[in-house]
Amino acid sequence: MAVDYQKLGFVNTKEMFAKAFAGGYAVPAYNFNNMEQLQAIINGCGKSNSPVILQISSGARKYADQTLLRYLAEGAVAMARKSGYQNQIALHLDHGDSLELCISCIESGFSSVMIDGSHLTYEENVALTTKVVEYAHRFEVSVEGELGVLAGIEDDVVAAKSIYTDPDQVEDFVRRTGVDSLAISIGTSHGAYKFKPSQCSRNEQGVLVPPPLRFDILTEIEQRIPGFAIVLHGSSSVLPEYVETINRHGGKLEAAVGIPAEQLRQAAKSAVCKINIDSDGRLVMTAMIRKVFAEQPQEFDPRKYLGPARDELTKMIIEKNESVLGSAGRE
């Protein structure tokens, strides 16, 4: 029997996405693996008055224990309400790869799940996604499907190259599966190494510039399924200041490049109602921890290096919500 996610303080994404579509913004979907990341997400979205989707990957569940993460998320909602933050919060499974995993999350109180059948044949993807939708909708849980393949590495999701979403498939896929939102591939990519240097150009300062997103594909998809909620994965900008901080303090992140903020803002004004951000959060945390260790090598109290990392991540989230996603100040 599924736990009632509404009693835990979560909502599904149906109303969230309707508001985002009408308002020309995207709801941020931030991944977390521990308490400090979750605190930063809630603090940042609370201070910027943004709705938020708390994302847990299958890898995060394995790392931190599925029960602990669920209770952390539930506690975060209570913390948010106590501080006066009243905006909508969803709890979402990121990149679920099986019906069994989706059922497990639904039964433990998730309000939204993603079933990623993009590694399967088209008909197998339709069949698997349909099964998840049929089960999830019994409990008013939202379902995100995926068409197309994103390159890169994120937890257990690995792909050598991108396969752009075929607009000719989207209408059939949405109609046959009954999904509530659709993740597409238009040039975003997982991880901090989203593009090979050979795929990029260089600006006057010699900085790598990634190839532009395929907005032509996005436009055609919008025309095929008008008003339908679209999702972008792999949408971290791989913020240069944090990459530089990591490298300055002993790291080795060479040729790390992400999606330009202005392209994400353009996408958020379209049918893209949800944008996933994971790698940027990891980079911020790592940069600040390395900085503390380099400047205060005698430090061994986790609160003294995780605390500054959490505070910097809060700042980044506020900036993303205000300047990139456009979700700040939304009711």
Catalytic site includes residue 97: no
- Side chain identity, residue 308: P
CA proximity to 181, closest of 11, 13, 31, 5: 13
For residue 89, what are the β-bridge partners?
52
From residue 261, give the alpha-carbon distance in Å to each of 44, 84, 175, 304.
18, 29, 32, 31
- Of 4, 65, 94, 168, which is the active-site residue? 94
Taking the C-alpha atoms of residue 317 and residue 319, their distance in angstroms, rounded to an integer, is 5
Q: At CA 313, angle to CA 158 and CA 24, rounded to 5? A: 75
Phi and psi angles of residue 4, each rounded to the nearest 5 degrees, phi first: -75, 105
Query: Tell me, what DSSP letter sits at residue 211?
Result: P
Number of CB atoms found within 10 A of residue 240's CB: 14
Taking the C-alpha atoms of residue 151 and residue 45, their distance in angstroms, rounded to an integer, is 29
Residue positions annotated with a catalytic role: 94
